[in-house]
Amino acid sequence: MRRRLNSTVLVTSRSFGVDDASLREDLEAAVKEVRYNPYGRALTLEELRRAVGDVDGIIAGSEKIDASVFAAAPRLRVIARYGVGVDNIDLAAAREHGVVVTNAPGANAEAVAELTIGFLFALSRSLSRIDRAVHAGQWPSLQGHEVGGKVVGLLGLGRIGQGVARRALALGCTVMAYDPCINQAFVDNYKVHVAPLNEVVAQAHFLSLHLPLTAETRGLVDRSLLERMRPGSYLINTARGELLVEEDLLWALESGPLRGAALDTLCDEPPPADHPFLGREDIILTSHVGAHTTEAARAVGRIALSELLAVLSGQAPRFAVSLSSEVHTP
């Protein structure tokens, strides 16, 4: 039996252990004290600063963890991200304070890939628009498009992009991909067409974003990129909202080539009541639920728990994040 660690752990993730009670049970049996997020939402910076003074480890959700949080946490040794992306964590500050940051690569890849494929069908058949109309007492007859035979363009061919590629190929689509770090074995095995960014953008009927958020990718999808898209095409974003310049997407829908978009993530979450995307029938919006399946939550939680306890026990974690500016495609 593992010896109980003399450590205090803060769990800011709201969904950790919700679908698998054994995660919380195992964590509570392994450390001296566990504190959970009591707010039912992401913690603010001020709330985090007040909470971390005597904390040794954090199982972190999507809240921002900046240099001021590290400065307020002299005992902090590890942040185990409950997910993949770490753009919400100041990695330079983590390095400065000697804090190990881990994530759970691949654990939610299948869930996000499935949602992306769901968006292909929802967009091509106007499913959300038809659903709203029927609920309102109408009976519309909207003509859609078949997904089979279309070109699916992927910006990013990491674990999630690969999951989308496998599924799209099984549907009879042609898959093109752009990624600075190509997995050649996957490309050769699945016959994915690797091409420069501009070529993928120009050929895709569906352009799907699966790049990490870095200084280089922030705002990548702007008007200059959108205006090169195929007329009548669709944009899908299940990655990070900041990859997209939102006002340029409005232009692309109103005056440019886009027929529609499906977004699981926005720059501001949740969006303000006056956000221009709200109420538009040509944009499908979901509340950053790409990874929200029972299976993914269990897998992500188990990895986060294992990584946290490894560091607190003085062992090397399996999925330590490089504390440089380089972040690999999830």
Residue 77 belongs to domain with CATH number: 3.40.50.720
Which of 245, 269, 285 finishes a domain? Answer: 285
In this structure, the answer to whether residues 59 and 141 fall within a common structural domain is no
Model's pTM, two decimal places?
0.88
Instruction: Say how far apart CA 324 and CA 308 lie, in whole Å.
Output: 20
Domain presence at residue 76: yes
Does residue 228 sit in the same domain as residue 121? yes
Contact 85, 290 (CB under 8 A): no
Q: Do 215 and 83 reside in the same domain of the chain?
A: no
Q: Answer yes or no: 125 catalytic.
A: no
Confirm if 285 and 268 have CB atoms less than 8 A apart. Answer: no
Q: Are residues 80 and 210 in the same domain?
A: no
Q: Please check whether residues 217 and 116 belong to one and the same domain.
A: yes
Give yes or no: residues 195 and 60 share one domain.
no
Identify whether 318 is part of a domain.
Answer: no
Total domains present in the chain: 2
Same domain, 113 and 131: yes
Q: Is 269 a catalytic residue?
A: yes
pLDDT in tens, the chain (330 residues): 467 999 999 999 998 998 899 999 999 999 999 999 999 888 999 999 999 999 999 999 989 999 999 999 999 999 999 998 898 999 999 999 999 999 999 999 999 999 999 999 999 999 999 999 999 999 999 999 999 999 999 999 999 999 999 999 999 999 999 999 999 999 999 999 999 999 999 999 999 999 999 999 999 999 999 999 999 999 999 999 999 999 999 999 999 999 999 999 999 999 999 999 999 999 999 999 999 999 999 999 999 999 999 999 999 999 999 886 444 444
Whether 321 is in a domain gets the answer no
Which one is catalytic: 166, 288, 292, 298? 288
Q: Count other Cβ atoms within 10 Å, centred on residue 59.
A: 27
Residue 326, pLDDT score = 43
Starting at the edge strand found earlier in the chain, the sheet holding 151-155 runs: 193-194, 174-178, 151-155, 206-209, 233-237, 258-263, 283-285
For the chain, give the number of residues. 330
Same domain, 44 and 32: yes
Show Cβ contacts of residue 132 under 8 Å, excluding neighbours closer than 6 positions: 281
Give the amino acid at 309. Answer: L
Set 81, 167, 240, 259: catalytic member:
240
Q: Are residues 305 and 241 part of one domain?
A: no
Boundaries of domain holding 91: 5-107+293-312
113 with 228, same domain?
A: yes
Contacts of 156 (CB under 8 A, 6+ apart): 177, 178, 179, 209, 210, 211, 212, 239, 329
Domain match, 98 and 244 both = no
Note whether 248 and 301 are same-domain residues.
Answer: no
146, 269, 295, 326: the catalytic one is: 269
In a domain, 74, yes or no: yes
Asked if 223 is an active-site residue, the reply is no
